[in-house]
Amino acid sequence: MFCAALCALTLNAAASDTFAPSYPARPIRLIVAFAPGGSVDLAARLIGQKLTDAWGQQVVIDNRPGAGGNVSAELAARAAPDGYTIYICSASLVVNASLYRKLPYDPIKDFSPITLLTSLQNVLVAHPSLPAKNVRELIALARKAPGKINYASTGSGSSGHLTMELFKSMAGINLTHVPYKVISQATMDLLSGQVSLWFPTIPGALPNIKAGKISALAVAGAKRSPALPEAPTVAESGVPGFEASSWHALLAPAGTPAAIVNKLNAQLAATVNAPEVNEQLVRHGFEPIGSSPVHLASHLKSELTKWAKVVQVSGARVD
């Protein structure tokens, strides 16, 4: 499947070179919906440097965190559709459509999909004092004491919150949500046992898992993570069909010429799957993907529908 996809992307590249031979002719701005220093910023800089090397034009990283990703999304949506502004977003792009009453952008109509870059799994972690060592035991324990087990998140509507709400719904259990404003406080309270559970990303949790300070019960993706291969998936642990990976995609403003989109797509797919880039991404907990624009367009729509249902059931709101 991957070989077929890569061949298709190579054909796209050949066609794109025919219709966009001079692109890029100047530096490209890469808007990133996260602050400098985090795992997504690291991935963006790694990819940006490879694009610079390939095309001889500087890719300038423009970090625009804030408002759950809305600041960066609005900036990208309003940019000129000429290929010189591209945007790395996360699932918050589509989740926010349900969390906010009004957005300054449309997550589907205002963007041209380029490629699904990476996925980043969340991991269900527990304080060692919790008398449940796997998902099945956790579900049994929660059913005996509805609402007695609590879990942390970094706020209403965050990735960890909604992933846990999906888990609760599919497992048929009730857990108590304890939202935090900052990740450091959530981490501290989990390590001290003030809260019992959390669904953070693997890179954020890995040091404490390896140190034995918290236990990894399961990962949230459709398959096991290379970064944490001993942890089963939630789906194989008693909740069939569960899948809630975080993901990161590259978009351009709506109206960006198809030839430029295809050229970006082919180069990005080759970049994330280059051995040296792939190795570094995997080391930091990412799964490199590199999809077609059509696949990403379909993915955005399905994720919009999926998380709208979770938000509705959870009652989460930001404004």
71: nearest Cα among 96, 46, 48: 96
DSSP string for 90-138: ETHHHHHHHHSS--SS-TTTTEEEEEEEEEE-BEEEE-TTSS-SSHHHH
| 23 Cβ contact list (under 8 Å, min separation 6) | 83, 259, 260, 263
Together in a domain, 165 and 136: yes
CATH number of the domain enclosing 149? 3.40.190.10
Together in a domain, 104 and 206: no
201, 219, 237: which is the final residue of a domain? Answer: 237
Residue at 227: amino acid letter: A
In a domain, 222, yes or no: yes
In a domain, 87, yes or no: yes
- pLDDT at position 14: 46
Q: Which residue has the tokens 């940006």?
A: 48
Together in a domain, 55 and 98: yes
| Number of domains present in the structure of the chain | 2
Together in a domain, 225 and 179: yes
CA 289 remoteness from chain centre: 12
218, 237, 256: which is the final residue of a domain? Answer: 237
| 64 Cβ contact list (under 8 Å, min separation 6) | 31, 32, 33, 71, 72, 75
Domain limits for position 136: 123-237
The alpha carbon dihedral of 118, 122, 123, 129 has a sign of positive
Residue at 189: amino acid letter: D
Together in a domain, 291 and 149: no
Together in a domain, 192 and 290: no
CA 204 remoteness from chain centre: 13
Digitized pLDDT (tens) for each residue of the chain, 319 residues in all: 444 444 555 554 444 444 567 999 999 999 999 999 888 999 999 999 999 999 999 999 999 999 889 999 999 999 999 999 999 999 999 999 999 999 999 999 999 999 999 998 999 999 999 999 999 999 999 999 999 999 999 988 899 999 999 999 999 999 999 999 889 999 999 999 999 999 999 988 999 999 999 999 999 999 999 889 999 999 999 999 999 988 999 999 999 999 999 999 999 999 998 999 999 998 888 899 999 999 999 999 999 999 999 999 888 888 7
- pLDDT at position 20: 66
Distance between CA atoms of residues 144 and 116, nearest Å: 41
202, 237, 272: which is the final residue of a domain? Answer: 237
Distance between CA atoms of residues 171 and 314, nearest Å: 14
In a domain, 12, yes or no: no
Pairing of strands 111-120, 246-253: antiparallel
